[in-house]
Structure 1
């Protein structure tokens, strides 16, 4: 490109035209590390040319940026041109997170912050290609965004890190088997328990809390709020009945019968006296004595 081979000073209009020509489209930039050479060789000739043009432009712009005073209008223009020229790098990194169900525009915006930080810290004299230097910073910024701002349901760090391994193992096994691997196969691959794999998969879905009033997919399906349980008022009676049963067995048989007739059969003291063949006064005394014994044996009041 003529713009890349231009003299040392590149004016603002030339920067814009050069950036647009260098980008050329939505072409993934060179990837980091040892994959860079393979990606360049595998790409079609036009894409390799565009990637080479972008790298050449980036090198020229960093040379310009080094000679300019930070904060000056010219410095800001060159810095902005560097950001614009390397936006395909951000879009390529953001594409790795498409499965997170987060708007891609937001992910790209966060990745651009990482790109800006990488531009401000990059030293061309270290002999490292800028994409190799910038990619970890961009991806780190995106991961930090997902970790700190996206999740409304936070999971333990160990479980989150293990989920990354489970996700990677799932992709590898899917490629190897030509199908989705089972939980047992993933657990065997990572040498962990199946319960841990299931917990990791569940943690991977815990990015957003679902509203209880949210409509459910499908016709006729009740919402979450409609499927929630309710507090059974009879639950309190379970403990009370167990306590009464425990206390009643400690009473003499006749007193047990009197209490059952009085409070379970709803008989009056006169009817109980006629049933047992004793006086009403005697029934009253037996009831009072039974209550006293029950109170003294009541472990809750004690």
Structure 2
């Protein structure tokens, strides 16, 4: 397990991380989400030793992370750390040998990842000749070429087309399945919800929420999505006042209503709707990760300016 324990970091008088503690289990993909300046990249740089924490520590399987352990990590920075004029295959072999692989093993590892990531036809291309999406694939290959024990990826899906996203998602899952703790940051919350086992939400250097996607989006008070051609003002008048007070428009159309704390159930709700029109859909409703993120990061949007943390 990769563990961040009580990390604190400030730049001058500006605090960046406030006592951040976070476990990433082996075989788990964790998504780091938060606005610009939330502390995601700083946390990753501390894990990699690029930046030193003011206090706190990073452990891997209970051992403090040192340079020896970091040499077995795979890191993909948001800003590409590759050589524009170096040919793709040569570049991957160079990074593999830099991480301790023999020349033969480096050649085989480079060929393998070029094939997996769909870059075999571009192996002799210079990096600057590739599209931004293919450059991103090369960056991932460079992070994987030495078979790392841990993966730390900063915005790995940036600039990728849908097919490339599918390829990268599959690769990350395969790495997790072989026991690698994987942590990546992303602003694409729908992608995080689809790919990750666990999510951590940061705001202005503080960890606001952490858990599985199901835990974060599961609500103590179940709500229902109603789609109907009936006027909601008519059928909702037949509900308990507590249920009427919860009515809100659904993001994709329809109405969301909570029956928690009322004597009524979904059958009563369905009957009320049908008395005024056709019931097109009635099902339990769960908020998306984006809606959870918005409620955690900016719980009172009407009372404050939009967060840019």
Instruction: Sort the TM-score into its range (normalised by shorter chain).
Output: under 0.3
More helix by percentage: 1
The structure that is strand-richer by fraction is 2
Greater C-alpha radius of gyration = 1
The answer to which structure, 1 or 2, has the higher relative contact order (CA under 8 A, 6+ apart) is 2
* TM-score of the two chains, using structure 2 as the length reference: 0.21
